[in-house]
Amino acid sequence: MGTGKRGLIATAVTVIGAVAVLAAPGSAFAAPSPTPSPTASPTTAVTNRDIEAVRKQLDALYHDAAVATDAYNAAEEKAEQQSAQIVALTRKIVKGQEKLARLKARAGAAAAAQYRTNGLPDEAKLVLSDDPQQFLDATGRVLQGQRATKALIAELTRTQQDLKQYADDASAQWTKLEANRKAKAAAKKKVEQQIAAAEKLESQLEAKEKERLAELEEQAAQKAQTAWLDSGVLKEISGETSKAGRTAVAYATTQIGKPYVWGAEGPDSYDCSGLTSQAWASAGKPIPRTSQEQWKQLEHVDIRDMRPGDLIIYFDDASHVAMYLGDGAIVHAPRPGRTVTIAGAGSMPILGVVRPDA
């Protein structure tokens, strides 16, 4: 064991925690206060307590990275929607301008025709006419022309109003688009900062300590899963998957082994909600892109009614999502540095269950 290694671990936890807090202000992304470790003499070995402190700090950093990733994905999705709306409004503006040009041409032609008749009043035309019936027929046509002119003016007015509304809507969407681009950039920065802090913290560990860290992570997951199973919940879960659910499960399990990359939605890499949203898209059931929106928008079901294909939402802030496979197992994209894998459904704190094809 290296000289003063325990002190180095304690210092690393403190420094990285401080860096994360300074780099990512705001309650939604701020890294929690680091778990302190007592100062040790240069010859003291690193204990499981020290490694456990590192594990908890890494969990917190990766959790905050997941929250920031959800914010990034949400901003990206909104920006794409607003870009599409701007394109649609632009097309409406172009069509409106073409329509306005045609209406103005018709109005011009009507004005020219009136000019050619010298603008004589109907009474004068009656006096000058040799054929009263011809005059009456002409008067009918004049009335029709007046009604047509009135309708033309009304249509011109409506078209001009529509064009103004389209332009105002496009301007508003552009403002929202710019705001979401900024939110997306800010979230991206926070994700990168949290992941960099976690990677730096892990880099302070020697090979044997990394092995012990992995063991502690596995033990924590197994402990949580065992407690969940011991609750008897699995005995109550008996739902049978739907046809769409089987397709979604097949898609998700086919991705096992592919790397987690924040913001990714396949086909070569995924983040947690990228995996679940693409799995259900493959089943012909588009769902929201982020775990938080999946929790908000999809129908909630009791955990006792859970069936394969349902999505389990984790943590109080709905920052992680996985797909239930049955028999107490899930498939999910865990976090940076990991790959899509199968895990215990109770290995993380469950917020609730949602069903995409309720």
Catalytic site residues? 272, 320, 332
CB contact at 8 A, 296 and 233: no
What SS3 class is residue 351?
strand
Non-local (6+) Cβ contacts of 151 within 8 A are none
The C-alpha atoms of residue 272 and residue 341 are separated, in whole angstroms, by: 11
Joined tokens for residue 184: 């997306």
In 3D, which of 339, 195, 201, 226 has the Cα closest to residue 275? 339
DSSP state for residue 303 in the 8-state scheme: G
CA 307 to chain centre: 25
Joined tokens for residue 298: 């999809």
CB contact at 8 A, 213 and 55: yes
DSSP state for residue 314 in the 8-state scheme: E
Q: Could you check whether the bond before residue 267 is cis, i.e. omega within 30 degrees of 0?
A: yes
If you count DSSP H runs as helices and E runs as strands, how many of each does the chain have, helices first? 9, 6
Strands (DSSP E) contained in the chain are 299-301, 311-314, 320-326, 329-332, 341-344, 350-355
The C-alpha atoms of residue 12 and residue 277 are separated, in whole angstroms, by: 37
Sheet with 341-344, side-by-side order of all strands: 299-301, 350-355, 311-314, 320-326, 329-332, 341-344
The C-alpha atoms of residue 189 and residue 29 are separated, in whole angstroms, by: 11
